[in-house]
Amino acid sequence: MEQNNLQTWLESNLYFKGLPPFVRETILQSGVSLSSEEELRRLARSLMRGQPGEPDAPRG
């Protein structure tokens, strides 16, 4: 997906809008090429992995 189209798609995507601000900003600034919402979800999960409060964060 072209970068301008990707940004427009992301900004209208409900899943993207619900992500923490640092994840949204990281994705927008990365220039990553996404072709589906599933790719977006995998990337977001990867970025959030290990963050406090996340269900898959390593425990103590």
Residue 60: inside a domain, yes or no?
no
User: How many domains are there within the chain?
Assistant: 1
Question: Counting Cβ atoms within 10 Å, is residue 9 exposed (0-12), middle (13-18) or buried (19+)?
Answer: middle
Residue 40: inside a domain, yes or no?
yes
Residue 57: inside a domain, yes or no?
no
Q: Is the pTM of this model over 0.75?
A: no
Write out pLDDT tens, residues 19-50. 999 999 999 998 888 989 999 999 999 999 85
Residue 11: inside a domain, yes or no?
yes
Residue 56: inside a domain, yes or no?
no
Residue 30: inside a domain, yes or no?
yes
The domain of 7 spans: 3-48
Residue 15: inside a domain, yes or no?
yes
